[in-house]
Amino acid sequence: MQNISTSTSTSPLLTASVQYSTPTVVVIVLVAYIALCRSLRFRFERKLQEKFNYPDRSSLARMTNDDAQAIVNSIQSQEFPFLYKLSLQFGLFKTYSIPTISKLLSATTALTDPKFAGKRYEDTTILFGQFSIYPPKSDRALKALARMNYLHNRYVVGGQISNADLLYTLSVVIIEPIRFMSQFEWRPLNEMEQCAIGTFWKSIGDAMGIKYTGVLANDTWVDGLAFVEDITTWSRQYERDAMRPVISNVKPARATVDLLLYHVPSFVRPYALELLTVLMGDRVRDAFMYPEPGIVMSMIAYTALIVRRFIIGYLFLPRAYPLVFFSEPDPKTDRIYHYDYQVEPWYVPNNVWSRWGPSGLLSRFVDGIVPGDKPWKPEGFLFEDIGPVARMGAGIKEMEADVDRLRRERPTGCPFA
C-alpha cells in the first residue's frame, strides 16, 4: 500500500501571520486598556458635576456649604487622596517660614520637640479630617472646630497668634491643593471643585473668627472662586512682605522634614531632602535656610512627577470606593479609631489588620512604630484628647459652648448669598 505522507511544515504566509499577530494583539489590548482608564477616570468627574449641578460660572454663586464640603470630601477621599493630603502638609509647612508663626511653634515646643511632634502632626490631621469628611453641622465637624478653637484661643487672646497668621494659614490650605493638582496631578481641579475649596475653607475661617474686612481687597464675594482669587492675591503679597530667613524658622522646618522622611533609609535621606527642597521653591527654601538643590535633582524631581501624572492618568484605573480614614464612634465609649498615620500610630486600633496589614508590615520593614502599643491610645480618641499632652481632657465646657455657637451660626446654605 502506498504511504501517503502529510506535510507538517507551516507555510511562510501562516508563519508570518502568527509572528506578527502577538505584538498586534498586545497593542490592541494596551490601547483598549488605556481608553478604558481614560474613560473611567473622567466618568467620576462627570458624575460629580451631574450630581451637584453647577454647570457654569454663574451657577457657582448658589453653591451651598453642604455641597462644598461634600465635593472637598470626594477630592480627598476618592479622586486625589495622596496629593490632596500632601498639598495640605506642604501648605502648613509653608506657614513655618513666617517668623511670627515659627517663633510661637519654637516657644511651645509642640512641633520642635520630637517627644511631642508626632502627636501634634496626627492631631492636626484628625481635626482637618473630621471637619472635611463630615457635614458642616454634624457633631463630628462641630466638635473638631470647637477643639481647634479651644487650642488656639489662649494664644489668640494673648496676642501670640495674629489675625494675619490665621488668615495666611487659611490661604495656604486653599491655594496649595489647587496648585498641586494643576501642576502635578493627572488633571487639574475644575471650576466647581476650586469653588468648593474656596467655599468650604471660607466657612472654616468664619468658624475660627478670622477677619477679612480691611485685609483682603473685598468684603463680599459672589462665589468661592472669587474668594480664592482675592485671598490668593493677598497671600502672595503677604509672603513677599513677611516670609524671610530667621533662625526661629529652622527648628519647626527640620522637625517636620524629619517626620516626612521618617521612613526613608538614612543613606537615601540626603537625596530625599534635596528632592523636597526642589518642591519648596526658592522663597520657602531660603526662609528655611536650606541650600539650593542641584540641577540634576531638580530634573529628577519634576521628571518623576510628570511620569507619575502620565501613569496615573493613562494606566491606573480610578479608585472604585472612597478611602476610610476613621471609624464610627463606639456606641459605649464614643471613641473613634484613626486608620491613617504618618509616623506615630495615635488612636489606631490594636488588631491583626493594623499590626500585620500593609501599614503595619511597612512599619516593621523600616523599623517604624507598629500600631497597638499603649502610649498611642489604641482605644481611639475623644475630641478632648486632641492637643498637647498637658491639655488632654481639658476644655470640655469651652468646647460645648462653642459647639452650641457653631450649631446656631454655621451655614449649610450658600455662605455668599
| Residue pLDDT, tens place only, 350-381 | 999 888 988 888 888 877 888 876 789 999 99
Q: What is the mean pLDDT of residues 104-109?
A: 86
* pTM, rounded to two decimals: 0.90
Measured between alpha carbons, how far is 229 from 405 in angstroms, rounded to an integer? Answer: 29
- CB of 116 within 8 A of CB of 252? no
Provide the CA 90 distance to its chain's centre, in angstroms: 9
Residue 229 burial class via C-beta count within 10 angstroms: exposed 0-12, middle 13-18, buried 19 and up: middle
Query: What is the residue type of 20?
Result: Y
Q: What is the mean pLDDT of residues 310-326?
A: 92
Residue 72 burial class via C-beta count within 10 angstroms: exposed 0-12, middle 13-18, buried 19 and up: buried
Residue 398 has pLDDT above 90, yes or no: yes
Q: Would you kindly state where each structural domain of the chain is located, as residue ranges?
A: 46-315
Q: How does the average pLDDT of the chain come out, rounded?
A: 90
| Residue pLDDT, tens place only, 17-34 | 555 578 788 888 888 999
Measured between alpha carbons, how far is 261 from 279 in angstroms, rounded to an integer? Answer: 14
Q: What is the mean pLDDT of residues 130-151?
A: 96
| Residue pLDDT, tens place only, 255-296 | 999 988 888 888 889 999 999 999 899 999 999 999 999 999
Measured between alpha carbons, how far is 385 from 346 in angstroms, rounded to an integer? Answer: 11
Measured between alpha carbons, how far is 128 from 122 in angstroms, rounded to an integer? Answer: 10
Instruction: Give strand ranges (E) for 33-128.
Output: none
| Residue pLDDT, tens place only, 65-101 | 999 999 999 999 999 999 999 999 999 999 999 999 9
